Amino acid sequence: MPAILELSGGWNPLVGESVVRAANFYPHGLWLLQQTTGDLFGSFEVTKIVHALLAVIALSSLLSWLAVETGRALGILPIALIYLIVLNPVVSAQALTFYVDGPVYLLSMIFLAELFLAYRTNHRRHDFAAVAAGVLLIGTKLSGLYYAGLIAFLFCAFVVRRWPGLRRWTASTTSVALIGVFVVGFHPFVIQT
Amino acid sequence: MQWSRTAACSLKLGPNSCLMVAFGVLTLSSRFPLIKRISDHLLLFHRDSATLQIFAHTILFIIAIDVVIASLVRHTDLPTGGWIFAVAMVVGGVAAFLLNRGTAPVNWRHGAVIVVFLVLWAGVVSTLYDTSWDGTA
């Protein structure tokens, strides 16, 4: 929260140092989102809604993925299982806070589900959704960078032998890396290294 | 405020067990007409992948575009206020519309459920104004 207030107060991480020491070393993609929404709506408390937004997206992506994988309408038990995965204790516990672990979990789920939806359905919208989720994941926390790489690697290992859209997938994941590291994550990934 | 701390703790502990109980009750009680109707509506909502995906993609594109624009603006002398999110809402909304165009009809009643949930949640998080308990104040 102090980092969001610093950003709102005019701190530019590209050229200046924050008095909030930790803020100088961590990705601030999610903070930028909370800063712009906080400035627009006049309340930084309301920016905690990012947890609910991401939970809605994760729920949708996972439900769609499971429906596509199984090829039939979902029963109440699979739906309950997905709710339990989405509303895991970390996400639930951080729903009213400015912590970012919950969003990292949710974005990891969205990234994975959208990659598989792109693979199964061959719709371009899922490519773009995967890029968006990957960029946000990298910009949310340093561990998001590791999770994004791990998910992309596992997905690649799963599909590499049987997917004609491999070129598009390569374009998507390369976009994630370029935008996530050099645009959203310019500070700290480029400046600090 | 103590009441908000209590509410937050309930949120921490409650959802998973409450969900288990709720889904269990819905499953076991489907022989009762009213509960069966509720259960059927819930199932229909969750099976409506087209509407869920369109709303999810719209939100996802808006927040991703907001973060990218906000990052790029830091390289310029432009102001970094709320206008960025306003622009992102327009660009993300148009992008989601174009990418999802022609995929499936949207059930606007289901869409309204999502919007009402998010508005209510925004009300909850902005009303429970007490950041001291989570150590971020």
The pLDDT tens digits for B58-79 are 999 999 999 999 888 888 878 7
pLDDT, greater one: A3 or B46: B46
- Does the pLDDT value for residue B26 go beyond 90? no
| Residue A131 to chain B, least CA–CA distance (Å) | 9
Element spanning B66, H or E: helix B49-73
- Average pLDDT on B21-50 reads 78
- Identify the CA nearest to B12 among candidates A113, A133, A96, A48: A96
User: At a CB cut-off of 8 Å and minimum separation 6, what does B75 contact?
Assistant: A14, A186
Quote the pLDDT of residue B62. 94
For residues A89 and B29, what is the distance between their CA atoms, to the nearest angstrom?
A: 27
| Residue A33 to chain B, least CA–CA distance (Å) | 6
B-chain CB neighbours of A60 within 8 Å are 49, 52-53, 55-56
CA distances from B116 to A7, A21, A112, B43, B112 (A): 30, 39, 27, 18, 6
User: At a CB cut-off of 8 Å and minimum separation 6, what does B111 contact?
Assistant: B51, B54, B55
CA distances from A160 to A165, A167, A168, A169, B65 (A): 9, 10, 12, 10, 29
Quote the pLDDT of residue B58. 93
Contact of A121 with chain B, judged by CB distance below 8 Å, is answered with no
Backbone angles phi, psi at B17, to 5 degrees: -70, -40
pLDDT bucket at B6, cuts 50 / 70 / 90: low
Q: Which residue of A has its CA nearest to B4?
A: A96
Cβ proximity of B52 and A58 under 8 Å: no
Contact of A113 with chain B, judged by CB distance below 8 Å, is answered with no
For residues A87 and B121, what is the distance between their CA atoms, to the nearest angstrom?
A: 15
For residues A19 and A11, what is the distance between their CA atoms, to the nearest angstrom?
A: 10
- B56 and A67 in contact by Cβ < 8 A? no
Query: How would you classify residue B43: left for phi > 0, otherwise alpha for psi between -120 and 50, otherwise beta?
Result: alpha
- B117 and A35 in contact by Cβ < 8 A? no
DSSP B134: G
User: At a CB cut-off of 8 Å and minimum separation 6, what does B92 contact?
Assistant: B58, B61, B62, B63, B64, B65, B66
Quote the pLDDT of residue A7. 77
Quote the pLDDT of residue B1. 47
- Average pLDDT on B82-103 reads 88
- B68 and A92 in contact by Cβ < 8 A? no
How many CB pairs below 8 A link A and B? 194
Contact of A186 with chain B, judged by CB distance below 8 Å, is answered with yes
Long-range residue pairs from B107-116, CB within 8 A, at least 24 positions apart, any chain: B107/B48, B107/B50, B107/B51, B110/B45, B110/B48, B110/B51, B110/B52, B111/B51, B111/B54, B111/B55, B113/B45, B114/A56, B114/B51, B114/B52, B114/B55, B115/B55
User: Tens digit of pLDDT for each residue in B74-91?
Assistant: 888 787 778 888 999 999
Contact of A104 with chain B, judged by CB distance below 8 Å, is answered with no
- Average pLDDT on A79-106 reads 88
- Does the pLDDT value for residue B135 go beyond 50? no
Average pLDDT across chain A, whole number: 85
B-chain CB neighbours of A95 within 8 Å are 11, 125
pLDDT bucket at B130, cuts 50 / 70 / 90: low
For residue A191, the tally of other CB atoms under 10 A from its CB is: 12
Q: What is the ipTM of this complex?
A: 0.83
Task: Return the residue in B4, B10, B58, B60 with the most chain A beta carbons within 10 A, the one to mutate for interface testing.
Answer: B60
For residue B127, the tally of other CB atoms under 10 A from its CB is: 12
- Does the pLDDT value for residue A105 go beyond 90? yes
| Residue A151 to chain B, least CA–CA distance (Å) | 19
User: Tens digit of pLDDT for each residue in A125-135?
Assistant: 999 999 999 99
User: Tens digit of pLDDT for each residue in A57-84?
Assistant: 999 999 999 999 898 888 888 888 899 8
